[in-house]
Structure 1
C-alpha cells in the first residue's frame, strides 16, 4: 500500500476558505485520523484525496503517483483506486448484499467467477458470509456499515477513506464497530484516512491524529501526544475533558483569582493573562491534609454519580474546577485536592484559540 502526501492543499467555496495550504503525510499502512469540530475542513480534505473535490492549488500524491498537482494533473476519482465509506453507507436498497459488494468489480469488468470469489472473500473478511443474499432492509445498521466497507475493499484499494462511518450507530454498537474495524485494518494493512469529530473514536483507533480547526492544522501526533501534550489551548479543550483556568504568571508561579496561594507550574513566562489546563483525572483527592505541592482545600458545589466515579464541581478561588473521585462526598463539603505541577499545561496569548 502507498503512503499519502498532501502539500499546500487549499480549497475555497466562494469567499469561504475551507483549507489553508494544508500539509500532511500518512505512512504506508497507517491508520490516520482527521479530528475536529464540524466545518473544520476534515471532510473537504478527505474528498480532495478521493478526487470528489478539486483543490484550488496544492499537490496530492499516493506514493510516487501524483493524482493532483494544481491545474496540471487531476486524476479522476474512479482512477485513484480509493475505497470510500460514506457517513450514510450509501448501499443500494434494491440490490442484495452480494450485488452491492460486486458493483465496483462489475464496473472494472472483472469476470463473473473472479467477481463471485472476491465478493465471498471480502464478505468473510467483514463477517457477513451468511448474509450474501439478503437485502439492506433485512440488515441492522451495523451490518449495513459492514456491507459498505466490504464494497470499498472489494477491488483492493490503495487507500481506504472513511467519513464518520459510525455516526448512525448507537453508542454500544459504535464501540464494538470501532474495535472490529481497527483489528481488520491492522490485519489487511491498508493505508486508512478516517474522519471523525468523536474524540473517543480518534484516541482508541488511530496511529496518529491530526487536529483541525477552521481549515488549519493545530497539531499532529499520536493519541498519547495529543491528549497529554496538547500544542495549544484549543487542542487541550477539544480532546477529552479538561479544566481551563485563567490566571497571572509571575516568577514561575501562577496566581488564580481568589486563591490565597500561587500554584507551582512546570514553566510559565511572566504575564497578566495565562491559562492553566489540567485534566480532571490527573487531580489527586486526598483523604486528609497533605504537604504535596499545589494542595488546596476546596468546597463541593455540585456532584454527579457516573457509575464508576463521581464528578464534582468545586470552587477553586473564583473559578470552577471539575474533579473525579470514587469517594462519595456531599454537596457543600470540603475536599483536599492536589494539582500536580507535572500535570499542568500553561498557555499564553500565543496559544489562544484563533
Structure 2
C-alpha cells in the first residue's frame, strides 16, 4: 500500500499552448480507493500517466509516501521501481500468448523460478476465478474473461498501487456492474491502493470511497461520492455526475421564479439570474394536492413525452409557462398533454450562480 500526494501538478504541451493539468493537488490515502472523474479532454489520463511514471509534470511534484517520484519536469523514480500495476482501457493482451503467459509476462525479468512464477499466476487466477482459462488465448476468451486476465497481470507482481484507466469501457452494460463489484472486492481483499480514472460516474461511484472531479485540467471538487453527488459545486459538475434538470430563473422575494414555477430559496439578491438544479429522482408528479412534509409544490405543468425505460416511465413535463422542461421517472404511465402538479424534494434543490 502506498500514499500518493500530488502537489500543484501542472502539465502543458506544445510549449505551453495546451494546458492538460492546471495546479492539481490531492492526496490518495494508503489502501483507499480514489476515483478521478471528468469528461473527455479533462486531463484524467495525463494525471494517470504521471502517477504511473509514463510522463512527468511540467511543474509541481508527486510523492509516494514521503518519497518524491517526479518533480518539475524530472523523472526521479522510473515506472519499474514504483511497484505499480496498471489496467489499460484496451487491456493490451498479447494475442500470441495464453492467459497464463499474459499474466506471467511481468514476472519474466524478475529472475524468479518457474515454480514461483506458476505459484503467483495460479494464486491471482484463483482470486479472479479464471483458473479454468489459463491455457486459452485471448481470442478464445469472453470480454469479461479478458478483463480479468488484464487485472490479474496487473496484480501478479504484488503492487502497492493499482491504476485503472477507463477499465470497463469495452464491456457491455450487462457485464459492467459485475466487473466493478469484482474490482472492489479484490482491492478490499488485497488492501492495495487503487486509483481509477473514468468519464463514467457509475465506474467511480461504485468503486471509489473518495472522488476528485477534473474539468479542463483543474481539480474543481474533491469529496465522498455521496457528497459530490448531493452538493456539486457547479452546474457542470452536477451534469457530469448524473442526470439533472437545469432551469434558468431569477431571484425574487418569494424565492427563485422560473416561468410559472417558484422554488424556495433564501440568499442572493433580488434580480440575480441563477440556475436551479433538481435531479429527476427529486421530482414528484401528482394530479391532486399532496400533503408531504419533505416536498414543496412549485407549480403546474403538462406531460409532453412519455417513454419506457427499464421498469420505469420517463416523463418529460413542460411547465404551464416557460421553456425549460423537467424530467422525472414514475412507476406508472401518464397521458401525453395531461396536466400535473410538480413537487420537488425541499432539501434537494440546488442553486447555481
What TM-score bracket applies, with the shorter chain setting the length?
over 0.9
Deviation at 1:342, TM superposition (A): 1.6
1:206-285 paired onto structure 2 within 5 Å: 206-251=208-253, 253-257=255-259, 259=260, 262-265=262-265, 267-285=267-285
C-alpha distance in structure 2 between counterparts of 1:135 and 1:305, whole Å: 41
SS at match of 1:44: helix
Task: Determine helix, strand or coil for the equivalent of 1:120.
Answer: helix
Residue 89 (structure 2) aligns with: 87
Query: Which runs of no fewer than 5 residues in structure 2 stay unpaired?
Result: none
Tell me the residue number matched to 2:179.
177
1: CA distance between counterparts of 2:334 and 2:241?
Answer: 28
Could you tell me whether the CA contact under 8 Å between 1:295 and 1:338 is conserved in 2? yes
Aligned to 2:305: 302
Is the contact between residue 303 and residue 311 of structure 1 (CA under 8 Å) also seen in structure 2?
Answer: yes
1:113 paired to 2:118: no
**Which ranges in structure 1 are unaligned for 5 or more consecutive residues?**
349-354
2:334 to 329, 332, 352: 329
Q: Quote the offset at 1:243 in angstroms.
A: 0.4
Write out aligned runs for 1:22-171 (5 A): 22-71=24-73, 73-171=75-173
* Contact preservation (8 Å) 1:54, 1:74: no
Query: Could you say if the C-alpha distance between residues 254 and 21 of structure 1 is closer, same or farther in structure 2, counting changes exceeding 3 Å?
Result: same
SS at match of 2:108: helix
Alpha-carbon offset, residue 332 of structure 1: 0.5
Normalised by the length of structure 1, the TM-score is: 0.94
Partner of 2:13: 13
Alignment check: 8 A CA contact 2:57 2:73 kept: no
**Residues 264 and 294, structure 1, Cα contact 8 Å, conserved in 2:** no
Contact 1:59 1:69 in 2 (8 A): yes
Aligned counterparts of 2:347 and 2:75: Cα–Cα separation in 1? 50
Task: Report the Cα offset of residue 307 of structure 1.
Answer: 3.2
Of 65-74 and 298-307, deviating more is: 65-74
Q: More displaced, 109-118 or 84-93?
A: 109-118
How many residues of Structure 1 are paired with residues of Structure 2 in the alignment?
346
CA contact (8 A) 1:266 1:342 kept: no
**CA RMSD, aligned part only?**
1.6
Q: CA deviation at 1:266?
A: 5.3
